[in-house]
Structure 1
Amino acid sequence: MLELTWPWLLLLLPLPVLVYWLPKTKPNGEAIWWPSIKQFSTEKKNKELSRFLSLRAICLVCSWILLVLAFSRPIWFGEPTQVTPSGRDLLIALDLSGSMQTEDMFLENEPANRLEAAKSVLARFITERHGDRIGIIVFGSKAYLQAPLSFDSETINKLIQETQIGFAGENTAIGDAIGLGIKRLEEKPSDKKVLILMTDGANTAGRIQPQQAATFAASQNVRIHTIGIGAESMMVQSFFGQRAVNPSRDLDEELLKNIAAETGGQYFRAKSTDDLREIYVTLDELEPTPSEDIWQRPIRSLFHWLCLASMVFLGLSLVNRNGSFKITRRSL
């Protein structure tokens, strides 16, 4: 649908006609401007000139009409489209330290390490977060931004699947991961800043202490949900046969609980892949996505196109019969 912002400007369309019908001034006898009479000595040339002047007049009229239409600011409204309103800005900090290769998880009844289980659950979680901007931070000895906040869940998922253990170092810099998350969320609305921290160990690297980072996150209205990954019991082969060990003995649950409590989030314990899936179902409820879609109509301004067309017709009107753009006036 076409709509004019300033339709009253269309009243200027007949202005050239009014100017044409204004009383003409009489020549004062000194000099008159007219093309050379020699060029019109034959009837053929007169017909060619008449046709040329008619085309020039048509170009000038078209140029004027397009110019007036352009300044009336025409806007084209497209068909209404359904748009999911923006939800939360959600960062996921994923531990890639060496301990994440411990195979104490199962995927489809097959042994899997902690990172593989996390990837599997995250893929589904991200796909279902319609309307949220999601970003990925990976951390080990240092923290890095793997994917900036984006609505492109397909690309985010692809980048998560490409992560490998040891990409960020063998140790665990929890404080640095939180600090980087705060930095990436600092300019976002205060009620929509969420960080999900997934780790299986304690803070063993980094320049920022996790508790200090959590205090600063709380001051910046960043809510942090923490997830501790790892089974409590695992059978391993030793010289004396199989024995049960606790593969999560290095997990600092007290620290993760304090970080969550400090920032208004929650701490979760994932002892299996099923636990991890249930945790993300709970997170979906704690951090809901927008429930109602909105409708909008794309708007396109036609101003610059009409101006360009007007200039083209004006340029055509300035072309002489010989094809040049130079206009001359000769006196008798």
Structure 2
Amino acid sequence: MFSIAWPWLLVLLPLPLIFRRAQQQQKVTGHLQLPGVGQTSLNQVQQRKTSPSWLLWLVWVCLISAVCRPLWVGEPIELPSKGRDLMMAVDLSGSMQIEDMVIDGKPVDRLVLIKHVLSEFIERRQGDRLGLILFADHAYLQAPLTQDRRSVAQFLREAEIGLVGKQTAIGEAIALGVKRFEQVDESNRILILLTDGSNNSGSVTPKQAAEIAAKRGVTIYSVGVGADVLERRTIFGTERVNPSMDLDEAELTQLAEMTGGRYFRARNSEELEQIYQAIDQLEPISREQFSYRPQADLFYYPLAIALLLTVLKVLLTLPIFQQLTSRKQGAA
């Protein structure tokens, strides 16, 4: 149905009349008499200069209509009443730029792989509320728990290595996730922690944060990202190294077990996808039923009409149009 967001702005419609009346009261009441020119002919000249005044009124009405923000409101759409609350903590430390992952046969760094797989995971989360935490030297909340999956995916795509530092504050990431869950009453409180290193920054240790998480009912699913073997070419030939030597799997396993979760190892995109499939099996919780009505703005229609009428008014004031009008009146 049709609706107006700000109907009270319609009180501005008579504003030109008020200004015109005030100007008329300020004018001098005397008239200048011109010899040889009748009052009727003078009035005709004035009308020719000011006509057509109705165009200006239409422009004003259209502008006020646009400012009032007309809307087309659709039918109510019910949101899913069951879902999960998932807070995702993504590591942006310097080691995430190591290119030991592969997508479609092309080598990519770890963050690109996480973005690739996690974006598909977010897309499937219909009915779930998602949040995003980015951490390196410190942890920062990028997106609170929301059902707006598109915004969360966009925030993830915009994340860059070094955005919040070069080190790894796993404890702060867990603590921040726990703090955000405190604002949610009924929730299964799941924190997905994706990292490729060990805690070496922050004011909270991972163990302290995990103890708090266990008390608050937050379940941690920790994911260790990184390949076991990386081949590098040197002047002496091909060298095989372990790019994940800094990954503290024992600590990540302990954090998950302390909160009743699990630790996963992601050496490639297939293993990372299997982890998200396991999280899909978690039982969703029931929530209060909500609905919303989609809205479409219509202000550009009266705005476009006002623009066209303004152009028409300008064209009518050009000398060529005035000459055509004078010729027509003379012929009549």
TM-score band by shorter chain is 0.5 to 0.7
Matched, 1:172 2:178: no
Q: Distance in 2 between matches of 1:235 and 1:143?
A: 32
**Structure 1 moving runs of 4+ over 2 Å:** 78-83, 287-298
Structure 2 residue corresponding to 1:153, chosen from 136, 149, 155 = 149
Q: Are 2:101 and 1:105 aligned?
A: yes
Q: Is the 8 A contact 2:81 2:290 kept in 1?
A: no
Whether 2:185 is the aligned partner of 1:189: answer: yes
CA distance in 2, matches of 1:297, 1:168: 36
Once the two structures are TM-superposed, the CA of residue 282 in structure 1 deviates from its matched residue by 1.1
Instruction: For 2:136 and 2:185, locate their aligned partners in 1 and report how far apart those are by CA, in whole Å.
Output: 29
Counterpart of 1:125 (choices 121, 128, 131) is 121
- Map 1:1-332 to 2 at 5 A: 81-189=77-185, 191-285=187-281, 287-289=282-284
Shift, 1:122, TM fit: 0.7
Structure 1 residue 289: deviation in Å? 4.5
The one-letter amino acid of 1:225's match is Y
Provide, for residues 137-164 of structure 1, a one-character-per-residue CA deviation record: whole Å limited to 9, x for no partner: 0000110011111111011101100000
Decide whether the 8 Å contact of 2:130 with 2:147 is kept in 1.
Answer: yes
- The answer to whether the 8 A contact 2:174-2:209 is kept is yes
Q: Return the letter of the residue paired with 1:186.
A: E
Separation (CA, whole Å) in 1 of partners of 2:168 and 2:136: 5
1:110-157 Cα deviation digits (max 9, x unpaired): 001000000011111111111111010000011001111111101110
| 1:144-187 deviation per Cα after TM superposition (whole angstroms, max 9, x unaligned) | 01111111101110110000011111000000000111111112
TM normalised by structure 1 equals 0.63
Q: Output the aligned Cα RMSD.
A: 2.3
Percent identity over paired residues: 45
CA distance in 2, matches of 1:92, 1:145: 10
- Rounded to whole Å, the distance in 1 between the matches of 2:270 and 2:93 is 22
Unaligned runs of 5+ in 1: 1-77, 299-332
The CA distance in 2 between the partners of 1:231 and 1:293, in whole Å, is 43
Equivalents in 1 of 2:229, 2:139: separation in Å? 29
Which consecutive residues of structure 2, in runs of 5 or more, have no partner in the other structure? Answer: 1-73, 294-332
Distance 1:114 1:223 in 2: 24
Match of 2:239, SS state, is strand
Distance in 1 of aligned mates of 2:202 and 2:170 = 7
In 1: Cα distance, 2:200 partner to 2:178 partner: 20
Deviations 1:219-238 (A, max 9, x none): 00011100000000010122
In structure 2, the CA distance between the partners of 1:291 and 1:282, relative to structure 1 (3 Å rule), is farther
**Secondary structure, counterpart of 2:232 in structure 1:** strand
Give the Cα–Cα distance (whole angstroms) in 2 for the partners of residues 297 and 119 of structure 1: 30
- Aligned residue for 2:96, secondary structure, equals helix
- In 2, distance between residues paired with 1:89 and 1:273? 24
Alignment partner, residue 30 of structure 1: none
Name the larger-Rg structure. 1
- Structure 2 distance, partners of 1:118, 1:138, is 13
**Distance in structure 2 (CA, Å) of the matches to 1:297 and 1:277:** 32
Residue aligned with 1:192, SS: coil
